[in-house]
A and B are shown apart, each in its own frame.
Chain A
Amino acid sequence: MQMDALINLAVSLLTTVSILVIISIGLAVVFGMMGVINLAHGEFLMLGAFFTLSGYRAGLNIWLAMIVAALGVGLVGLLVERLLIQFLYGRLAATMLATWGLSLILVQVVVLIYGPSTQGLRTPLGTMRVGDYSMSQYNLLLIAVAVALLGLVFVVFTRTKYGTKARAATQLPHMAAAVGVNAKMTNMLTFAFGATLAGAAGALLAPVAGVLPGMGQAYVGRAFMTVVVGGPGVLTGTASSAALLGTVDSVVSNAFTSFLGTAALLLVAIVLLRFLPTGISGRSGRQL
């Protein structure tokens, strides 16, 4: 194989893996740190895309629009935690049902505001040529951002006061409370942080995916499988399982069609769980 073809393949694979990391890191934070399953994660992502769209149309620079959108979704997450999630801690099925209801509502509200059709956003940055192939610079950016997001999560949870408290509250909630960690506050912040990451995912995908109210459903299944296969380790789990599942998806999609790639991802995930029921990072326990 030619060098340029090889590079092209590698970039396409890394892009798939990076997108998996981007769409699942927020979910992984909320699930790994709080044990909460947020079924509205896909809709948080969708909101991030629409906020970006609105910001851009209102005249903001595209990058600024993305940052504002992510923070906006974080605010939504904060409200959701205060109004809904906080009453449901420890009730797994109830949390799922309630966030499920929330996702139905959010989709429809966005339909009412923006209409049901797909909206486009021009892909920023140009393309560059590598040998006979042209590749989108934005994809390269996505790869860099995925790494940066993992780094951000690492820094937030290991280098900040909040992060230490959040990890303490995860490992031993009673002990953390006994030494003065305000669990209410940490939970609120963690959920909002997860929502911000979901919003960022939506913002980043807006230029390359169709922005439409139902777009959350298209991603949330893959995001969940990535988190499940990854297990409780937010960083190690997400990174390793995104690498594995992304490779499967990318290879099968290139060889056949993209929906077979999605199906293969699911199949591999299910078979893997038969042998690693707590996920790739399950053995090492709950840590980053």
Chain B
Amino acid sequence: MSNTGTRDRVKDWVRTAGRVPREALYLAVIATVVLAVTGALPEFRAYEWTLWAIFGLLAASFAFVWGHAGIFSFGQAAFFGIGAYAYGAAGINLSPATGETLTALLLGTLVAGIAAAMLGYFIFFGSVGDVYVAIITLAVTLVLLTVMSSTADPKYHVGDALLGGYNGMAGIPPLMLRAGTALDTRQMFAFSVILAAAVALLLNILRRRPFGRILAGLRENETRTQLLGYDVRRYKLGAFTAAGLVAGLAGSLYSAWGMFVNPSVFTLQQAALVAIWVLVGGRNSLLGAFVGVALVQGLSTALGGSGDTWTPIILGSVLILVVLLLPDGVVPSGLRAVSNVAPWVASHRLPRTVRSRLLQRESTELRDVLAARSGQFKPKRLEGQGLVKHFGGVKALNGVDLRVDAGSVRALIGPNGAGKSTCFNLLVGRYAPTEGHVRLDDDDVTRLRPDQRAAMGIGIKMQVPSYYGALSVFENLWLASFAALGKVEDSNRQALRVLRWLGMDDRASLDASALSHGEHQWLEIGMVVAGAPSVMLLDEPTAGMTREETHKTVDMIRDMSQFTTVVVVEHDMEFLRQLDAPVTMFHQGLVFAEGSIEELRKDERVLDTYLGRRPSIDAAG
């Protein structure tokens, strides 16, 4: 699914919402096949394959949260176990009265989802690092193992359901859709496979929706995503919760399938299995999750009796070998080996259908790009008042007042260590000032996060290159557009307009990482412009550029400055002369001088500290 050619990728991206998704067709095919073969299946096969489908669903939830959203979580096994126990408890208590267990299935899923949401809240809203996410989910799993194993005493029960300690919870009712009649083995097989397929296909649709695209952006570059104005914490929490729900559903099905659950669902070995399935099938493929389960489980069945003794050793060795030798996954590596034998020439232009449908209508005028943010767009004044920033003992800024009026351009210059970048980062919101305020028009934004400032109209290009390397140029611009516009169709058009304005439409389908250095800078400027910001902050936009590239960049910034407020940090004097804008010079954490570049060139102090002077004839003589 993810290995389609570059052309299809953009076509996929621009695909309009509202159509019947192709997943509906897949589901219909799967359902038909399953219903057709179920009758002919031997009962033990149906029983075994039901388990594979359930495990496949669990693996798909892990592939989604890790492979797609980039969150490495050990928690999927835990949510699976929580779902299993919750279904058991709900089924034992409710089914005598209602005669069905569909409610229990729903409850099991929900309880796991709520557990995921609560845990996710603390993890992601505390903004703990990636390492900690893995460790916390691992610790939760292990503690659940300890806690559930210690509940042998009959006083630990949920209604009529005894938790049962290490021996587990017995007497769990099978799946009953209608009052009083349990599904037989073959019906359970058909039900589980179709449900698992439906949920996995739903996840696949989700990956294409804006939510899923933003997750892909998060995975590639979290900082950039936040600077574009997305609240990354909410998206991570959403992905984590969705995966928790799916794992909970799988757990509920598991418990209905086996009519029994014990704490072994919380062991590290179980959690390791989930990772192995996904590593074998490829971490970024939902279909691969099911393939991985079928391969690994099929193999361990084939190995047969000695399994119990050797299973952990084999599992452990597989983990180590895959990580060392095939980090992209076994199946994807195999597929790539095949496709390398028969390569095809990929075009990096937009697919013709997309071009004819959308591109020709789009103007290349920046005015139209900026007007896309209807009603909201207007240049704003950006002001820093008495900004002080200390890093430990280092006084990077010592009280800077900077006022850039709405619709004007300002260049910030100064020697290394003068405080330019610190000042820039305070305006952006990457650091909080030790003292002082940052204002956008009349709003005090000093305490706002970068994404909140972006939402208010501050667009940022950082000094360090920051884009989505594994996404296409078009996708990069789309994510920037969507952050500001919030509508799929509008964002498609906006991304295309910016692409044209940059003069890069022949690069649309190329991975952003494949661009040249200058093109990277333009792409990032494009990403700023796509958000139609009221203030643009550009940190060293021409660093490392050739003379021609610098020239083109100056034209872009001039164009931008006609419509919006621009603040540029630059070293390149040639650039500053071409730009011909008022300059603020920093020195030792203070504003040292302000004026046009010509005025500064005449200022003796500026010449001494920064610009330097020609060796004077007197001195030489």
- Residue numbers of A with Cβ under 8 A of B are 35, 37, 39, 84, 87-88, 91-94, 96-98, 100-105, 107-109, 112, 217-218, 220-222, 224-225, 227-228, 257-259, 262-263, 266, 269-271, 273-278
Is residue B2 within 8 Å, beta carbon to beta carbon, of the partner chain? no
On whether the beta carbons of A221 and B129 are closer than 8 Å, the reply is: no
Q: A-facing mask of B113-133, CB < 8 A → 1, else 0?
A: 000000101110111111110
Q: How far is the CA of A27 from the CA of B46 in the complex (A)?
A: 45
On whether the beta carbons of B312 and A105 are closer than 8 Å, the reply is: yes
Complex contacts, A273 vs chain B, CB 8 Å: 122-123, 126, 128, 132, 136
On whether the beta carbons of B125 and A97 are closer than 8 Å, the reply is: no
Which residue of chain B has its CB nearest to the CB of A223? B139
Contact of B315 among A93, A101, A225, A257 (CB under 8 A): A101
Which residue of chain A has its CB nearest to the CB of B72? A93
Is residue B138 within 8 Å, beta carbon to beta carbon, of the partner chain? yes
On whether the beta carbons of A37 and B323 are closer than 8 Å, the reply is: no
Which residue of chain A has its CB nearest to the CB of B138? A224
A273-B123, A277-B126, A277-B127 known; A102+B316 contact, CB < 8 A? yes
On whether the beta carbons of A221 and B143 are closer than 8 Å, the reply is: yes
Complex contacts, B140 vs chain A, CB 8 Å: 266, 270
Give B258-298 interface residues, CB cut-off 8 Å to A.
267-269, 272, 275, 279
A37-B135, A259-B150, A277-B132 known; A98+B142 contact, CB < 8 A? no
On whether the beta carbons of A101 and B268 are closer than 8 Å, the reply is: no
A273-B132, A275-B126 known; A225+B317 contact, CB < 8 A? no
Contact of A101 among B129, B145, B320 (CB under 8 A): B320
Q: How far is the CA of A286 from the CA of B159 in the complex (A)?
A: 50
Min C-beta distance of B165 to chain A, whole Å? 10
Q: How far is the CA of A88 from the CA of B309 in the complex (A)?
A: 29
Min C-beta distance of A13 to chain B, whole Å? 20
Is residue B206 within 8 Å, beta carbon to beta carbon, of the partner chain? no
Complex contacts, B386 vs chain A, CB 8 Å: none
Which residue of chain A has its CB nearest to the CB of B125? A274
Task: Provide the main secondary structure of the chain B interface.
Answer: helix
On whether the beta carbons of A104 and B143 are closer than 8 Å, the reply is: no
Q: How far is the CA of A71 from the CA of B575 in the complex (A)?
A: 63
A-B contacts at CB below 8 angstroms, number = 133
> Can you give 15 A-B contacts (C-beta < 8 A)?
A84-B324, A97-B323, A98-B320, A98-B323, A103-B316, A104-B319, A105-B317, A108-B312, A108-B313, A221-B142, A262-B147, A269-B139, A273-B126, A273-B132, A277-B126
Max chain A C-beta neighbours (<10 A), residue from B66, B72, B143, B317: B143
Min C-beta distance of B266 to chain A, whole Å? 10
On whether the beta carbons of B319 and A100 are closer than 8 Å, the reply is: yes
Is residue B318 within 8 Å, beta carbon to beta carbon, of the partner chain? yes
Is residue B134 within 8 Å, beta carbon to beta carbon, of the partner chain? yes
Is residue B327 within 8 Å, beta carbon to beta carbon, of the partner chain? yes
On whether the beta carbons of A98 and B139 are closer than 8 Å, the reply is: no
Is residue B146 within 8 Å, beta carbon to beta carbon, of the partner chain? yes
The 4 closest A-B pairs by CB, nearest first: A101-B319, A221-B142, A104-B316, A105-B316
Complex contacts, A258 vs chain B, CB 8 Å: 150
Complex contacts, B132 vs chain A, CB 8 Å: 228, 273, 277
Complex contacts, B279 vs chain A, CB 8 Å: 97
On whether the beta carbons of A257 and B150 are closer than 8 Å, the reply is: yes
On whether the beta carbons of A100 and B128 are closer than 8 Å, the reply is: no
Q: How far is the CA of A107 from the CA of B315 in the complex (A)?
A: 12
Complex contacts, B128 vs chain A, CB 8 Å: 273, 277-278
Complex contacts, B146 vs chain A, CB 8 Å: 218, 221, 259, 262
Contact of A37 among B131, B142, B145, B322 (CB under 8 A): B131
